[in-house]
Amino acid sequence: MLQKVEHKLEHYTTTAEHYGDLALNFTTEYGLKLLGALAIFLIGKWIAKQFLKLMRRGMEQAQIDATLISFFNNVVYVALIIAIIVAAASNLGINTSSFIAIFGAAGLAIGLALKDTLANVGAAVLIIFFRPFKVNDSIEVSGVAGTVKTINLFSTTLTTPDNRSIIIPNGTLVVGNIINNTSNMHRRIDLIFDIDYQDDLKMAKEVISNVLSEHPKVLKEPAFVVAVGALAANSVQLYARPWGLSEEYWDIRFELLEAIKLKFDEHGITVPFPQMDLHVRKGEII
């Protein structure tokens, strides 16, 4: 009887030791995994913050709109945090494929629901990275012209010369042609002057050349050009092609037109206009 009791006690002791070792091993293994997952999360979060700082600094140096900088920082941060959480969960032995599938399905549903809105956001991304224009640029797009006032996630606002605001969705803006009038430092000013066939052609060219040479805002390089552009039905067309700073384009254009017209008047050079001779014969009904 005593031997049976001792045998049972020995069996129970061995079993307890066995389960104790299993529990210890499980605790140790799981504890290491938990510490590893925590380390992945903390280190990953630190790396994500450093990356976001570098990205923000680069975007600020590129003079990107502050609203867009904040938006992309938030988007990238959320994406990185999700990736870090998935990596940490995977280290714990959790099957993350179901989480990825859930995130994918949720992203698809949101994308379908906000298709047009996300198209505008995507267009904003293109504007940021390809930089076809920036704030304060003068552009022509979608049949309108103006100065870029703001660029946000969904639209771009232009201010017209008569001080109206035009809001254009980014998705509409990037699918058409964009003419940036101020992206280059210098811009050519195309002028056409009509003179009468009876006027002195060489004198007219000399008058235009003198005005261009004396104007302080007309650049010496590239040199301007004055040439006969066409022999029209009612006039000889003279083409003048001076260069100036892009931001002074309209000032130079207006000043040159006025100055050349006044010089034409001084030298008796006329600006013809279409005329029609009407002959009436007696006895005919008009």
Classified as helix, coil or strand, 237 is: strand
Distances 85 to 80, 81, 91, 252 between C-alpha atoms, Å? 9, 6, 10, 61
- The answer to the question of residue 123 being in a domain is no
CA 153 → CA 114, 117, 179, distances in Å? 13, 9, 21
- CB neighbour class for 123 (10 Å; exposed up to 12, middle 13-18, buried from 19): buried
> Residues 191, 171: one domain?
no
Same domain, 191 and 164: no
Same domain, yes or no: 105 and 16: yes
**Residue 257 maps to a domain:** yes
Residue type (1 letter), 236: V
Which CATH number do you get for residue 167? 2.30.30.60
Q: Before 242, cis peptide (omega within 30)?
A: no
Q: pLDDT (tens digit, 9 = 90+) per residue, 132-158?
A: 888 889 999 888 999 998 887 788 899
Tell me, yes or no, whether 96 and 16 share the same domain.
Answer: yes
Query: Considering the chain, what is the average pLDDT of its residues?
Result: 80
Q: What is the DSSP string of 154-204?
A: SEEEEE-TTS-EEEEEHHHHHTS-EEESSSSSEEE--EEEEE-TTS-HHHH
Q: Are residues 99 and 20 in the same domain?
A: yes
Residue 283, domain member (yes or no): no
Buried b (16+ CB within 10 A) or exposed e, 17-28: eeeeeeeeeeee
CATH of the domain at 261: 3.30.70.100
The pLDDT value recorded for residue 13 is 54
Same domain, 164 and 79: no
Work out how many domains the chain is built from and give that number: 3
Residue type, 71: F
Where in the sequence is the domain holding 232, given as residue range(s)?
186-266
- In 10 A of CB 134, how many CB atoms? 18
- Is the pTM higher than 0.75? no
Does residue 220 register a pLDDT over 60? yes
How many CB atoms sit inside 10 A of residue 100's CB? 12
Instruction: For the chain, count helices (H), then strands (E).
Output: 7, 10
At 53, which CATH number?
1.10.287.1260
- pLDDT of 18 higher than 70: no
Indicate whether 103 and 48 sit together in one domain: yes
In the prediction, which pLDDT does 166 show?
Answer: 92
> DSSP strand E in the chain: where?
138-141, 144-151, 155-159, 165-169, 178-180, 186-188, 191-195, 226-231, 236-240, 243-245
pLDDT tier for residue 248 given thresholds of 50, 70 and 90? very high
Residues 97 and 23 in one domain: yes
The 10 Å Cβ neighbour count of residue 69 is 18
Nearest to 178 by CA among 136, 146, 150: 146
Mark whether 20 and 82 lie in a shared domain: yes
* Mean pLDDT computed over 16-23: 50
In whole angstroms, give the CA distance from residue 8 to residue 2.
10
Q: 30-43, pLDDT tens digit by residue?
A: 666 677 778 878 88
Same domain, 141 and 212: no
Whether 68 and 33 share a structural domain: yes
Q: CA torsion sign, 122 to 128 to 133 to 136? A: positive
Q: Is 201 a domain residue?
A: yes
Strand arrangement of the beta sheet that strand 191-195 belongs to: 191-195, 236-240, 226-231
Q: How far lies 65's CA from each of 152, 191, 247, in Å?
A: 7, 37, 22
Q: Give yes or no: residues 81 and 167 share one domain.
A: no
